Structure 1
Amino acid sequence: MSRFDGRRLSWTRLTVLVGALTALVLVGTSSWHSVQDSQAAEANGDAWYAGYVDATVTPLHAFEQPTSKATRDVVLSFIVSDPQQGCRPTWGSAYSLDAAADELDLDRRIARLRQQGGSVVVSFGGAVNSELATACTDAAELLKAYRSVVERYDLRMIDLDNEGAGLADRAAASRRAVAMHALQVERAKAGKDLRVWLTLPVAPSGLSEDGRRAVETMLDHDVDLSGVNVMTMDYGASRTTGQSMLDASIAALTETHRQLGQVYAGAGQDVGSSTLWRRMGATPMIGQNDVPGEVFSLAAARGLSAFADQKGLGRMSMWSLNRDRTCGANYPDVTVVSNSCSGVDQGGTSFAKLLRGDMTGRPDTSAVTPVVPGSAGRGQGEEARADDPATSPYPIWDEETTYVEGTRVVWHRNAYVAKWWTLGDVPDDPVVDTASSPWQLVGPVLEGEKPVALPKLPRGTYPTWDQDRSYRKGERVMMGGTPFTAKWASTGVSPDAQASREQPSPWRRLTDAEIRTAAQAAAKATKDAKPRKDGGKKKRTNDR
């Protein structure tokens, strides 16, 4: 006899049993997907922070001298097209890659940052000027242009900042995606990865239609997209009345997360929620934004960092490290955006540290193995540190030579620039602190360098300095073949006279770029002054 003899299983009991079993299956499946999603997010690497640096704006930001972990990784911006040659990459349309190395010492400063364990990401595009794919319509030349930047700076990660009118250019978007895919394949074959981030404008309602299409285009062309970074700034009319900058930024990120889920699903990439957050980044404009009345405060930075930590956001940046400081007292209207300060009283706090929060990842850890300054080896004897004039860009430092402000030298395989008049002060004196030293370390001598050949200014280009003459600001003189310009009015103060921070010189040596410009102008003037072989007479031609 059965234990349950005479009992029947009712339909009600059966329904409850099936429901319970189904619930258990769904819970188990959901938990498994959550585990998979979490594992996939972790596979994308630790969340990282890197602030943008405007590489060409003056005064130049000394990114090669990081003061904390929050400033050691940078996104240098912006590479754009040459206004006259669309397929030629430039820094901000003002410097070719070679000119940036020469006049901004950019290559050396990048090397110096990497020596100290820093990472460099390069950003293409921006709000001003034309991104390469917009101006360069030749596919082969476009790929060549992107490649030249990636190879020159040995990049492992790049940032594509698409905004403004160029964002709506579908043909440019396709050219860009094709080039990115080809470049990633090339780098992979060379044993080097290339991670690509897409940076886009955003509103509290999320990405625009053009922004969504930009992501879709990348995925459609098989670009291995590391993530989408949204510019949580300059909301304008899209921000509702009473909505704070923090609330608007959280709304923008939340809605973008939903949109990207649809975009990735449409591309056949079924990524989970955690993975999607790890493939997203946020970039606020610290302090006063371009839109009047929009101020991203220190409190907003703390709140955004907390939100990023809660969601597992993969990246945090900011515009910009150039601006991460309180404006000085001589800048009275902080509602006007400055390139050099935030417009808010930071009270000794940096936005960089607040936004980095607990992020421990690095954008570019595999790019360059950090080495100590003077990589020839400081502990390996003087011979290993010997300087060769044939492979040094600047003259070797000499204790008997007087150097004025702005003079560059090489010492122990590193380049230095004089901060003020100096004689006999060793550039790498380990006893003298940085503030007291008349020398500032620029960076290492790079492989393959040759002496920088500066043109000599013809005699008489500028008047010889006269101790009895009064000079006004901006006047130029020559002394011992070296050109100087007056920083303020002076009489009887020699350009090569000893100077210090306490008693600065009224003279400044012309920069290398200024000397080149002056030499070109002098050469042109000489050419124009030469009499023509035909005596200046026009040859007559037969009328036809």
Structure 2
Amino acid sequence: MRLRRTVQAALSACTTLVAAAGLVTAGTGTAQAAAPLPSRVFAPYFESWTGQSPATLAAQSGAKYLTMAFLQAATKGSCTPYWNGDTSKPVSSSTFGADIAAIRANGGDVIPSFGGYTADNTGTELADSCTDVNQIAAAYENLITTYDIGRIDLDIEDNSLTNTAGIDRRNKAIKTVQDWAAANGRTVRFSYTLPTTTGGLAASGLAVLKNAVGNNARIDVVNMMTFDYYDGATHDMAADTQTSAQGLYNQLAELYPSKTPAQLWGSIGITEMVGIDDYGAAETFTVANATTVYNWAVSKGINTLSFWALQRDNGGCPGKGGDDSCSGISQNTWDFSQLFAPFTSGSTVTNDFSVAVNPGSATVTAGSSTSAAIVTAVAAGSAQSVSLSVSGAPAGVTATVTPGSVTAGGSATLAIATTSAVAPGRYPLTITGSAASGTHTTTYALTVTGTAPSTGLVNGDLEAGSPAPWTCQSGGGVVSTPVHAGSYALRAAPGAIQTGECSQIVTLQPNTSYTLSGWVQGDYAYVGVTGGATASTWTNSSGWTKLSVPFTTSSSGTVTVYLHGWYGQGTVYGDDFSIA
């Protein structure tokens, strides 16, 4: 995927593969062929570098099939692929073998993916790195026999789209592998994952497919990344998915004139980026968008429905774009996975619905009001009556839903009123939809500002003894030691898949210059602002060190102030924050 950050910390080894797993040893080309994937499959991308278990997340999310990202050479010029280019993670049964066996035992499978933005941008995508077609083919065959794989994905972006020699080698290797598979009683399918415009593939992506046709390499699925358009426009991501796919359909019809319409649609895949993508809020894929895309994908009979990435399918960082560990929108964990899961052929589809709130957050001054739209949609089957309610409002906040019941596909209004006495802070409100098929919830993030001075933070010295209105990722909060001054300080707790960020929203004068200051302690201690301004600085320090960050607000005047560490590094502390 585009702009993926490669997080190497905290990678963990998988357990030894047992004989009953059904996997085979590399080189046994005559072993029993892998079972084919369903004709329709939902297979979200799994970030292999996080140290998490793909089998565990597959079971938790309900995503039986996973696209495993990524395989690449460790260094440019090498012909040996490793998971994430990490030489401690070779293609072997000891790496992900037990996880793959568990996924299959649960009725699913995996699609290993080569490439990705980092590999394509550093020359470590296998066909860019290796100049020997036979060795590229041998690497594919080794992967196939090691894990008994039935489909390989090739994620080609950035510089790999213009490396004509690499494109030709890759397609020649695909043809070699397909001939080898046929001779050994196997069927191996290949998919190309390519960036797209809202009207179909750009010329560079189309050239990859034209070269495959010229090399007699069969491409079974063309999977478009319907995100990161970077065109400066505000997007309806669901509508753009459909226009992009129609453009690809037209392109494939010219490349493969003998295919029927059903065969053409059946060779198309769609990969969304859930939540806010790398470009920013103008490209936000919502739960409501997912419902639209799901229904469209079923009606068209496309082959693959996917998203980047399974670890992002949660609402842990509202407002933050392009994060590998969260979607940046208010959602429940696994909302997108559970909505897309019935797409896989053979799944039982019963009546179901989705519920979302738009916008997903608001900031109000104590004593004022705001509202949002609660949107429901038919996720599967037919429309049913959905009862709506809201909970979690603190003292001084009144939240109501009108009407209290809608037919799935209908909307309601969330009305919020605050009194001047409500304590400033960030309050998550839970919107619940209940129907005969079950219950779904979504979260609305309400931030109340109060008596904070126009050039200051609330609880900047942490002497309130509690973090509010600061909010922290897991493990963060207020501590009594170490402190810079007074009795309390702020702790941020990084981990393998989080920076430990603690933050609060501050409203300042628009188009005005300020300086954020704070005292920090620890390795990779970052202080900065996002939102209506973007600026940061960091330090490594075993003692208290003052950091200062100049910034200028935009026309909104609202910024998010934060303290965080870095992935897999130690705890960092902050104290006595101020804005002047």
Sort the Cα spacing of 1:254 and 1:193 in 2 relative to 1 into closer, same or farther, 3 A: same
Q: Which of 165, 172, 176 is equivalent to 2:166? A: 172
Q: Distance in 1 between matches of 2:280 and 2:38?
A: 37
Q: Tell me by how many angstroms 1:244 deviates.
A: 1.0
The residue that corresponds to 1:190 in the other structure is 184
1:341 aligns with 2:326: yes
Contact 1:50 1:70 in 2 (8 A): no
Larger % of strand: which? 2
Q: Which of 251, 268, 275 is equivalent to 2:263? A: 275
Q: Which amino acid aligns with 1:208?
A: A
Q: Tell me by how many angstroms 1:115 deviates.
A: 2.4
Q: Distance in 1 between matches of 2:225 and 2:324?
A: 17
Q: Tell me by how many angstroms 1:356 deviates.
A: 3.4
Contact 1:305 1:357 in 2 (8 A): no
User: After the TM superposition, which residues 404-419 of structure 1 pair with which residues of structure 2 at under 5 Å, given as runs?
Assistant: none
Q: Which of 109, 113, 118 is equivalent to 2:108? A: 118
Q: Which amino acid aligns with 1:113?
A: I
Q: Distance in 1 between matches of 2:344 and 2:90?
A: 35
1:258 aligns with 2:247: no
Q: Which of 225, 234, 237 is equivalent to 1:245? A: 237
Sort the Cα spacing of 1:220 and 1:69 in 2 relative to 1 into closer, same or farther, 3 A: farther
The residue that corresponds to 1:536 in the other structure is none
Q: Which amino acid aligns with 1:258?
A: N
Q: Tell me by how many angstroms 1:358 deviates.
A: 3.8
Contact 1:44 1:278 in 2 (8 A): no
Considering Cα pairs closer than 8 Å and 6+ residues apart, tell me whether 1 or 2 has the greater RCO. Answer: 1
Q: Tell me by how many angstroms 1:326 deviates.
A: 1.8
Q: Tell me by how many angstroms 1:122 deviates.
A: 0.5
Q: Which amino acid aligns with 1:79?
A: L
The residue that corresponds to 2:303 in the other structure is 314
Q: Which amino acid aligns with 1:341?
A: C
Q: Secondary structure at the match of 1:236?
A: coil
Q: Tell me by how many angstroms 1:66 deviates.
A: 3.0
The residue that corresponds to 1:74 in the other structure is 66
Q: Secondary structure at the match of 1:80?
A: strand
Contact 2:38 2:345 in 1 (8 A): no
Q: Distance in 2 between matches of 1:79 and 1:345?
A: 32
Q: Which of 127, 142, 147 is equivalent to 1:133? A: 127
User: After the TM superposition, which residues 39-188 of structure 1 pair with which residues of structure 2 at under 5 Å, given as runs?
Assistant: 46-56=39-49, 58-64=50-56, 66-67=58-59, 70-83=62-75, 85-98=77-90, 105-129=95-119, 130-188=124-182
Contact 1:61 1:322 in 2 (8 A): no
Q: Which amino acid aligns with 1:107?
A: G
Superposition CA RMSD, Å: 2.7
Q: Distance in 1 between matches of 2:86 and 2:54?
A: 19
Q: Tell me by how many angstroms 1:156 deviates.
A: 0.7
1:351 aligns with 2:341: no
Q: Tell me by how many angstroms 1:316 deviates.
A: 0.6
Q: Distance in 1 between matches of 2:315 and 2:53?
A: 15
Q: Distance in 2 between matches of 1:153 and 1:96?
A: 17
Q: Secondary structure at the match of 1:83?
A: coil
Q: Secondary structure at the match of 2:59?
A: coil
Sort the Cα spacing of 1:145 and 1:96 in 2 relative to 1 into closer, same or farther, 3 A: farther
Deviation track 1:149-191 (CA, whole Å, cap 9, x = no partner) reads: 2221111111111111111111111111111111111122111
Q: Distance in 1 between matches of 2:38 and 2:146?
A: 26
Q: Where do 5+ consecutive residues of structure 2 fail to align? A: 1-35, 348-521, 524-580
Q: Where do 5+ consecutive residues of structure 1 fail to align? A: 1-42, 363-472, 475-544
Q: Secondary structure at the match of 1:98?
A: coil
Q: Which amino acid aligns with 2:41?
A: W
Give the TM-score taking structure 1 as reference length: 0.53
Q: Secondary structure at the match of 2:118?
A: coil
User: Which structure has the larger Rg over C-alpha atoms?
Assistant: 1
Aligned residue pairs, count: 311
Contact 2:268 2:302 in 1 (8 A): yes
Q: Tell me by how many angstroms 1:97 deviates.
A: 4.3
Q: Secondary structure at the match of 2:55?
A: coil
Contact 1:305 1:356 in 2 (8 A): no
Q: Distance in 2 between matches of 1:219 and 1:279?
A: 15
Q: Distance in 1 between matches of 2:62 and 2:250?
A: 30
Sort the Cα spacing of 1:336 and 1:279 in 2 relative to 1 into closer, same or farther, 3 A: closer
Contact 2:65 2:109 in 1 (8 A): yes
Sort the Cα spacing of 1:154 and 1:96 in 2 relative to 1 into closer, same or farther, 3 A: farther
Deviation track 1:90-136 (CA, whole Å, cap 9, x = no partner) reads: 1111235438765xx42222222222222011001111122100110
Q: Distance in 2 between matches of 1:74 and 1:62?
A: 8
Larger % of helix: which? 1
Q: Which amino acid aligns with 1:126?
A: G
Contact 1:53 1:61 in 2 (8 A): no
User: After the TM superposition, which residues 342-381 of structure 1 pair with which residues of structure 2 at under 5 Å, given as runs?
Assistant: 342-347=327-332, 350-360=335-345
Q: Distance in 2 between matches of 1:272 and 1:280?
A: 13
Q: Distance in 1 between matches of 2:37 and 2:142?
A: 27
Contact 2:193 2:222 in 1 (8 A): yes
Q: Tell me by how many angstroms 1:235 deviates.
A: 1.1
Contact 2:82 2:90 in 1 (8 A): no
Q: Which amino acid aligns with 2:308?
A: W
Q: Secondary structure at the match of 1:128?
A: helix
Q: Tell me by how many angstroms 1:303 deviates.
A: 0.6
Q: Tell me by how many angstroms 1:138 deviates.
A: 1.5
Sort the Cα spacing of 1:138 and 1:308 in 2 relative to 1 into closer, same or farther, 3 A: same
Q: Which of 189, 206, 209 is equivalent to 1:212? A: 206
Deviation track 1:394-439 (CA, whole Å, cap 9, x = no partner) reads: xxxxxxxxxxxxxxxxxxxxxxxxxxxxxxxxxxxxxxxxxxxxxx
Sort the Cα spacing of 1:288 and 1:259 in 2 relative to 1 into closer, same or farther, 3 A: same
The residue that corresponds to 2:570 in the other structure is none
Q: Distance in 1 between matches of 2:76 and 2:249?
A: 39
Contact 2:305 2:343 in 1 (8 A): no
